[in-house]
Amino acid sequence: MLLSQSIQSILQTLNQNGYQAYVVGGCVRDALLGKEYTDIDICTNALPEVVQSLFEHTVPTGIRHGTITVLMPEPVEITTFRKESDYRDHRHPSTITFVSTIQEDLSRRDFTINAMAYHPDTGLIDPFGGRQDLKDHRIRCVGDPDTRFQEDALRLMRAHRFCAKLQFTMEENTKAALIRNASLIRYIAVERICKELIQILEWDPYQIEQMTELLSPWIPELEACLQCDQNSLWHDTNVLHHSLRAVSYLKPFDKELAYALLLHDIGKPSVKTTKEGIDHFYGHPPVSAAIARRILHDLKLPSSFQKEIPALIEFHDDRLACKLKTIYRYRIEKGWSDQRMRQFFRLRQCDILAHSSYGQKSLEDLNAFIEYYNSQSKRPMEFKDLAIGGKEVLEHTSQKGRAIHDTLKQLLQYVFYYPQKNQKEILISLLEEGRFV
């Protein structure tokens, strides 16, 4: 494991003053995997006040928990060996005790692959078999898995996140304990849930199929989507798998569209009907949009997500005819920007690609509309495209306040169809004639 001069200097300073010191955690794991590592943490048996005395530039970033940040020149966190107890909220320990050995410190960590330490003189310290678990592509808790999850319920999400990121599988005892303790996820702040969830969607969205119960406090409909088959020419899998497949096509990844694709068919189970052996989901887009609106609110996602994602979902199944009135509907009536249209196209593309081979035939229609849309891009579609603004409306009419906006909207609707009329003199003349007042 290659260590920078700064890290080696910290280790040497602690060692020369009679203390143990090791690099620990994720950087050791990533080094063994042959991955790049930049965030290096150090553990030592030196108490925090000793660490402060040994280094010139320090910040007591987490001194209550034994952590001191040393600045030389990049910040490096140094934490005293510790054990934790009394996790009364299934997240934060109420008692922290400093201990004397690295083995005791490693025993409190979540998974074996994160419970390894390294020193350039003594090599790898791996008391729980993390290196073998890396070779076996396995996520396994340190010690008793029930205890680990009950101590910190965020580990329920982290276990799936590591499976997604590393393409590992979960060891059977760990998986069973996770299922037994899934209800503890309610103790975790939803913001932390979303931070883990979005990484899972990016690295391996299919991991969500194993998380329906875990995510049920916020997205209870996932289980119904998993159980909802789609017997039709357009689909070859259940609703959830189709949605996750759509997310998998989202390259490059986009957080807003990932949530939109995850939820775009969330209402299908509630509207499903079957006729002559064929499943139908009439009216599912607005139903899905309404459910998504609640979910996004409960997940406390950004207000822009809560506003814009339901709109994308509501119209994701619209037929896009290569006609001006189709562009007019989105750009003028709904006021969508060009950026929003591009997002809409990406969502539609991912959704179509996730259909059966028969359903993917509609990709040609979508591409034809995109080509048509691009060919009409010179038309005025936003207020900034108008040859005049609110100043001219105010000068040449008696309009005030909201009425000025409404007049500009009428002008925009007019010049969209007649772009050759989008000239200052012509529009002022129309205003003076009272055509748009």
* CATH number, domain containing residue 152: 1.10.110.30
Q: What is the pLDDT of residue 253?
A: 98
Residues 233, 343 within the same domain: yes
For residue 401, give its domain range: 383-432
CATH number of the CATH domain containing 312: 1.10.3210
pLDDT (mean) for 4-30 = 95
Give yes or no for a contact between 347 and 288, defined as CB atoms under 8 angstroms apart.
Answer: no
The Cα 381–Cα 415 span in angstroms is: 9
**What is the total count of domains within the chain?**
4
Closest Cα to residue 166, out of 38, 40, 1, 30?
30
Model-wide pTM > 0.75: yes
Residue 216 is assigned to a structural domain of this protein:
no
Q: Is the pLDDT of residue 90 over 80?
A: no
- Domain with 25 in it: what CATH number? 3.30.460.10
pLDDT higher at 91 or 63: 63
Boundary of a domain, candidates 109, 133, 157: 133
> Rounded to whole angstroms, how far apart are CA atoms 101 and 79?
13
Are 37 and 123 within one domain? yes
> Is residue 204 domain-shared with residue 289, that is, in the same domain?
no
Query: Does 330 score more than 90 pLDDT?
Result: yes
- Strand (E) or helix (H) holding 58: strand 58-62
Q: Is residue 370 part of a domain?
A: no
* Amino acid making up residue 238: N
- Domain termination residue (choose one: 133, 156, 181): 133
Q: Are residues 266 and 342 in the same domain?
A: yes
Within a domain: 198: yes
Q: Are 184 and 153 in contact (CB under 8 A)?
A: yes
Q: What is the mean pLDDT of the chain?
A: 95
Over residues 222-236, the pLDDT tens digits come to 999 999 999 999 999
Residue spans of alpha helices (H) in 57-109: 102-106
In-domain check, residue 274: yes
Q: Which of 163, 186, 210 is the last residue of a domain?
A: 210
Using an 8 Å Cβ cutoff, are 103 and 67 in contact? no
Does the residue 239 lie in any domain?
yes
DSSP designation for 59: E
Average pLDDT (166-176) is 98
Assess whether 78 and 11 both reside in one domain: yes
Q: What is the pLDDT of residue 429?
A: 93
Q: Is residue 314 part of a domain?
A: yes
DSSP SS3 for 437: coil
State the pLDDT confidence band at 82, using cuts at 50, 70 and 90: very high
* 332-370 tens-digit pLDDT: 999 999 999 999 999 999 999 999 999 888 999 999 999
Give the pLDDT mean for 370-387: 96
36-45, 86-95, 242-251, 354-363: which is most confident: 242-251
pLDDT score recorded for residue 37:
86
* pLDDT(91) > 70: no
**Distance between CA atoms of residues 238 and 228, nearest Å:** 5
Please tell me whether residues 264 and 322 are part of one structural domain.
yes
Are residue 143 and residue 129 in the same domain, yes or no?
no
Residue 377 within any structural domain of the chain: no
| Residues 228 and 350 placed together within one structural domain of the fold | yes
* 374 located within any domain: no
Q: Which residues pair with 278 in a beta bridge?
A: 275
Domain check: are 342 and 234 in the same one? yes
For residue 24, which phi and psi values (nearest 5 degrees)? -140, 165
Who's near 113: CB < 8 A, 6+ residues apart? 29, 130, 133, 134, 139, 140, 162
Residue, of 4 and 130, whose pLDDT is higher:
130
Q: Does 225 share its domain with 325?
A: yes
Residue 411 binned pLDDT confidence (cut-offs 50, 70, 90): very high
Residue 15 pLDDT = 97
